[in-house]
């Protein structure tokens, strides 16, 4: 109830600011982000434009501008050595802002390394922090947990994440996210809670397979399913288990398959797509 009160109060102030001159007590909003391939940048700019917020990029001194494999190799070396990348000083005075939208791509299951550097250098105590991220399969929840652990005195609010394969849906989703969380005036779509899951039917398993079959990093089978109506279609929440990948050795004896939750959207006239994996 306390967090809802804060969000409603924030929304009221932001709406007033949008309708007239800025008041001295209006919260100052900064969109701060790191982006390597411009996907996270696109989300950041969409948020900043919607809220008329200040915006700034987190820039590594030595940019990650190599090939995909070179970036992976460099990141692994930095993670192994514990030596984070150096970043350029920010122009923005973090202390002057009340709300920080913090954006990043997901690397190795959490926020990208330049953001890890930033979190070592700044103090977000007392700030409202709204995470947003882009990813191949998932990582929003894990990155929020890591962010909360790193900045325990900040108030970490619900975040937004989008698969890079679904960037065309991002502007509409961001609009709904900002409205649903009280940052933007307007009515958000209110979704029903998912019903209790049940063993996945043959039809549901086929929808699951169609949604994940084109993504090579997921080899899993649906175990349980539940669904709810969303504008233009149906959203599914599957519990799934890893299954052996073709050409890979079998799972060691006694090791249970990993379980994960996978969200799938099935819009009318479109093939099913998974939107996020939560491991």
Whether 224 and 197 have beta carbons less than 8 Å apart is answered as yes
| pLDDT given for residue 68 in this prediction | 85
> From CA 206, how far away is CA 253, in angstroms rounded?
29
DSSP E strands in the chain: the ranges are: 29-33, 54-57, 99-107, 110-111, 128-135, 155-156, 160-163, 198-199, 220-230, 233-242, 259-267, 273-278
- CATH number of this structure's domain 2-180, picked from the four choices 2.40.128.130, 3.30.70.270, 3.40.470.10, 3.40.50.360: 3.40.50.360
pLDDT in tens, 96-151: 999 999 999 999 999 999 999 999 999 999 999 999 999 999 999 999 999 999 99
Tokens of 183: 């940052």
pLDDT in tens, 11-56: 444 444 444 444 457 899 999 999 999 999 999 999 999 999 999 9
Output the pTM of the full model. 0.87
pLDDT in tens, 172-217: 999 999 999 999 999 999 999 999 999 999 999 999 999 999 898 8
Where are the chain's structural domains?
2-180, 198-278
> From CA 50, how far away is CA 180, in angstroms rounded?
14
Instruction: Name the pLDDT band for 95 (thresholds 50, 70, 90).
Output: very high
Q: How many CB atoms lie within 10 A of CB 144?
A: 20
Average pLDDT over residues 239-260: 73
């Amino acid at each position: 109830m306390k967090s809802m009160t804060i969000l409603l109060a924030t929304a009221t102030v932001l709406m007033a600011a949008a309708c007239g001159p800025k008041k001295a007590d209006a919260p100052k909003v900064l969109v701060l982000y790191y982006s390597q391939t411009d996907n996270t940048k696109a989300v950041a700019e969409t948020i900043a434009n919607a809220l008329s917020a200040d915006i700034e990029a987190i820039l590594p001194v030595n940019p990650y501008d190599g090939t995909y494999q070179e970036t992976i190799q460099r990141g692994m070396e930095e993670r192994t050595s514990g030596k984070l990348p150096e970043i350029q000083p920010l122009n923005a005075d973090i202390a002057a802002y009340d709300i920080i939208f913090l954006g990043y791509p997901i690397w190795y299951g959490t926020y990208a390394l330049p953001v890890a550097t930033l979190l070592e250098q700044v103090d977000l105590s007392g700030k409202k922090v709204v995470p947003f991220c882009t990813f191949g399969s998932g990582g929003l929840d894990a990155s929020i947990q890591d962010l909360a652990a790193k900045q325990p005195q900040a108030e970490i609010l619900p975040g937004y994440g989008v698969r890079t394969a679904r960037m065309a849906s991002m502007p509409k989703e961001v609009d709904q996210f900002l409205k649903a969380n009280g940052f933007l005036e307007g009515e958000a779509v209110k979704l029903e809670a998912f019903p209790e899951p049940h063993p996945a039917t043959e039809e549901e398993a086929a929808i699951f397979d169609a949604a994940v079959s084109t993504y090579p990093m997921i080899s899993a089978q649906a175990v349980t399913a539940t669904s709810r109506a969303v504008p233009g279609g149906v959203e599914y929440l599957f519990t799934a288990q890893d299954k052996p990948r073709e050409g890979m050795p079998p799972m060691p004896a006694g090791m249970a398959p990993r379980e994960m939750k996978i969200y799938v959207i099935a819009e009318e006239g479109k093939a099913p797509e998974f939107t996020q994996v939560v491991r």
